[in-house]
Amino acid sequence: MNQLLPFKLGEETYALELTEIQEVVENRSVYPLPSAPDMVAGAIGFHGRIIPVVDLSILLGFPTGPRSERLIVLTDDNGPVALAVDRLLPVLNVDLLQGILTQSNSEADCIRAVLNWQEEMISLLDLAQLQKTVEQLCSKTGG
């Protein structure tokens, strides 16, 4: 069994595996950076460290709705970075081997696989792909 944390981006449901997540933080002030691409919402102080916050809706091209007060801080080997999402949903227990509908290989969408959960499509976020996209955006406005 795998534990997933699903969340909303626009009308779509995405999810991350709990093992990829370090902590979900609430009511943390996000401080905007003086100069950064739009997808960087700013940074937070997290256990004495400065962690950048990526706005997933902007990064993946969704209309930006009211942002959740909660941020998903990924584990250090996936960042360290915090993701701002629209809304968090309750944790699911899923057998990924059973539930996977399609493996995705598309470069652009940052989706690892899509699974069908009680008639709802949940896209599993591809963190390696996401990291690459963020890296490109950072170097473009930098470099």
Partner 1 sequence: MDFSKYRDMFLNEAAEHLQQMVETLVAVEKQPTDRDGIAALFRQAHSIKGMAATMGYEATARLAHNLEDSLDICRQQDSIDTAQIDRLLAGIDLLEGLLEDISAERPERDIDAFISGTLDVSILELDRPEIIPHADKTAPVAEEMLIELRLDEKAAAAGPRLLVLIRQLANFGAVLKTSPTEAQILQGGAPRKLRVWLQTDQSREQLQQQLRKYSELSDVLFPDEKQVSTRQKKISQIAPTVRVSTDLLDHFINLTGELITNRYSLQTAAGEQNWQNLHEGLGQLTRLVKNLQHQVLQVRMMPLSSVTGRLPRAVRDLCRSSGKEVQLKIDGSEIELDRAILEELTDPLLHMLRNAVDHGIEQRGTVQIKAWRERDQVLIQVADDGCGIDPEKIRQRALERDLLSPAQAETIRNYDLLQLICSPGFSTAGEISATSGRGVGMDVVKTAVERLGGVLLIDSTLGEGAKITMKLPLSVAIIRVLMLDCAGMLLAMPIPRVLQTIEIPPEEVQTSGKQLVISHQGELLPLLSLRKILKRPKGPKLKLLPLVITEVLGRKVGLVVDRLVGQREVFIQSFPAPFDRLRGCSGGTILGDGRLMFVFDLQSLLEKRRG
138 is a site residue for partner 1 (CB under 8 A): yes
Three-state SS for 6-69 is: EEEECCEEEEEEHHHEEEEEECCCCECCCCCCCCEEEEEEECCEEEEEEEHHHHCCCCCCCCCC
Instruction: Give the CA dihedral 124, 128, 134, 138, nearest 10 degrees.
Output: 180
Distances (CA, A) of 41 to 7, 36, 58, 68, 124: 18, 8, 9, 13, 22
50 is a site residue for partner 1 (CB under 8 A): yes
Of 4, 40, 73, 122, the residue at the interface with partner 1 (CB under 8 A) is 40
Helix and strand tally (H, E) in the chain? 3, 12
Q: Which is nearer to partner 1, 33 or 96 (CB)?
A: 33
Residue window 18-37: x/- pattern of binding to partner 1, with contact defined by CB under 8 A: -----------x-xxxxxxx
Of 9, 57, 60, 79, the residue at the interface with partner 1 (CB under 8 A) is 79
91 is a site residue for partner 1 (CB under 8 A): no
Of 13, 80, 89, 104, the residue at the interface with partner 1 (CB under 8 A) is 80
48 is a site residue for partner 1 (CB under 8 A): yes
49 is a site residue for partner 1 (CB under 8 A): yes
Judged by the rule CB under 8 A, the positions of this chain that interact with partner 1 are 29, 31-37, 40, 43-45, 48-52, 79-81, 131, 134-135, 138-139, 141-143
